[in-house]
Amino acid sequence: MQNDLFDLSDSVIIVTGGMGQLGRQYTLALADRGAKVAVFDMDVNADRVKDRFGDRSLDEALMFVESDVTSRASIEEAVHQVERAWGSPTGLINNAALDSPPGAPAAENGPFEDYPEASFDKVMEVNTKGVFLCCQVIGGAMAVAGRGSIVNVCSIYGVLSPDQRIYEYRRQGGDTFYKPVAYSISKSSLLNLTRYLATYWAENGVRVNSVTLAGVFNNQDEEFLTNYNPKVPLGRMANEDEYNGAMIYLMSKASSYMTGSNMVIDGGFTAW
């Protein structure tokens, strides 16, 4: 793979929230391209790792590190574990995030006027502060080393307002359901953090980009799909592996002249 633009065999990449649906996909896809990948997550006990990664959990190119992205000390200790084993990281995917799913407590999915302050703080602490801290610690180390690539995972709901009509069926069924505000605010904040750091670290050889993703199929109920899918020109939600190519591209030398950009991968959702 010497002449392969997408070869990651010299890469040491950290994926936050790597135990989740998409984090797992990114981790395995990057490892398949030759990267050493460290999963940072709050829950990396042996049983859960085995359940999520199967035999791949024994892969010498994978490392599972308990880390809280809202704690600078926790991030620093996790990075030290990576450095002791593999050397300085060359890539960071800020994937860890919180959202209020449809099954969350009613207070979290109620009207904007009643959205709990504690819920707002919790989402912002993980989705915005967590990315900020990981960039400080891990991106800062990359800047000292003079190379690296950071990807901040954003959402269509960070560039557009959620269409509350998608959830009308819930309200018709008696629920007071609205897509909450905190997730949108947290994801939109990452767009300018990306631009800020791309210009700040350009002379240090660290590239910083964001990816704006649409919804991923995860056995959502039929009423939701009936309302969501017609808003997507491709007519469906993303499959969980359909964002892997973007992560490989942004972590590789194929994207060596790309920084400060936002890559939109949404099946056309934001085109209408």
Whole-model pTM?
Answer: 0.96
Evaluate whether residue 66 is within a structural domain.
yes
d(CA 66, CA 37): 14
Evaluate whether residue 192 is within a structural domain.
yes
Q: Average pLDDT, stretch 25-42?
A: 98
Instruction: Flag whether pLDDT at 105 surpasses 80.
Output: no
**Res 174: pLDDT:** 84
Evaluate whether residue 142 is within a structural domain.
yes
Instruction: Flag whether pLDDT at 102 surpasses 60.
Output: no
Residue 207's H or E segment, with its range, is: strand 206-213
d(CA 193, CA 132): 8
Report the percentage of the chain scoring pLDDT > 70: 98
Evaluate whether residue 225 is within a structural domain.
no
Q: What angle do CA 126, 229, 235 make, to 5 degrees?
A: 115
Q: Average pLDDT, stretch 78-83?
A: 98
Pair 7, 252: CB distance under 8 Å = yes
Q: What CATH code is carried by the domain that includes residue 90?
A: 3.40.50.720
Backbone conformation region of residue 174, classed left if phi is above 0, alpha if psi is from -120 to 50, else beta: left
Number of structural domains in the chain? 1
Q: Average pLDDT, stretch 159-188?
A: 93
Evaluate whether residue 153 is within a structural domain.
yes
Evaluate whether residue 170 is within a structural domain.
no
**Res 155: pLDDT:** 98
In 60-173, beta strands by DSSP E: 62-66, 91-94, 148-155
Evaluate whether residue 23 is within a structural domain.
yes
Distance from CA of residue 215 to its chain's centroid? 13
Task: Domain of residue 204: give its range.
Answer: 12-106+123-158+181-217+241-264
User: What SS3 class is residue 196?
Assistant: helix
**Res 2: pLDDT:** 53
CA dihedral of residues 121, 52, 67, 141 (deg, nearest 10) = -110
Q: What angle do CA 39, 47, 89 make, to 5 degrees?
A: 15
Evaluate whether residue 231 is within a structural domain.
no
Instruction: Flag whether pLDDT at 93 surpasses 60.
Output: yes
Instruction: Flag whether pLDDT at 195 surpasses 90.
Output: yes
